[in-house]
Copies of this chain bind each other. A is one copy, B any other.
Amino acid sequence: MGETYGSESLLFLTDEQIRQGIEAMYFAYRGLTSEPDRILGNLAYGRAHHRAIHFINRAPGTTVTNLLEILGVTKQSLNRVLRTLIEDGLVESRVGKIDKRERNLFLTETGTALEARLSDAQRTRMRSAYRDAGPEAVAGFRKVLESMMDTELRRKYASLRETKS
């Protein structure tokens, strides 16, 4: 109780409250991915395809290595997903101009269309949650999430956001 301001503001964090926060993350994350998963299921794709499409859309022309760092999977795993997306004409892979070892990835028109469909579903849910909770809650939400990320990952995330304002 009678402590400094700093530790007083920590006292509200009981184990139980923290636990509830963790569970809330779990359920909310599921809520956010359920609709895209449903759409993807009908197309014989999975969440991995969504992630690839999402980040290629976000940073057009990105390389495979770039994508690997952001997604945190092995290149073999990513490659399988990319291969099907390329075969199906959703993603285009161009040999790098400066360095021919690299592949620059782009969404095709079809790919962009699917991306829009998937992110619309998520944005609708997110937007409605934001609306329910109000602007101040949203600010807090973002603040906590950013603290929860890996420092390293946040760096990559930030560099991603630079490419498209």
Highest count of chain B CB atoms <10 Å: which of A28, A136, A138: A28
Complex Cα spacing A147 to B138, Å: 11
A-B contact pairs, 17 of them (CB 8 A): A10-B131, A12-B138, A21-B138, A21-B141, A22-B119, A22-B122, A23-B58, A25-B32, A25-B145, A27-B148, A27-B154, A27-B157, A28-B146, A30-B72, A133-B144, A138-B144, A141-B145
A25 touches B22 (CB 8 A): no
Cβ-closest chain B residue relative to A131: B10
Q: Which residues of A contact B (CB under 8 A)?
A: 9-10, 12-13, 15-16, 18-32, 34, 51, 58, 72, 119, 122-123, 125-150, 153-154, 157, 161, 165
B133 touches A147 (CB 8 A): yes
Classify the interface of chain A: helix, strand, loop or mixed.
Answer: helix
Cβ-closest chain B residue relative to A9: B135
Complex Cα spacing A9 to B127, Å: 12
Complex Cα spacing A138 to B140, Å: 6
Cβ-closest chain B residue relative to A126: B18
B145 touches A140 (CB 8 A): no
* Residues in B neighbouring A132, C-beta threshold 8 A: 143, 147
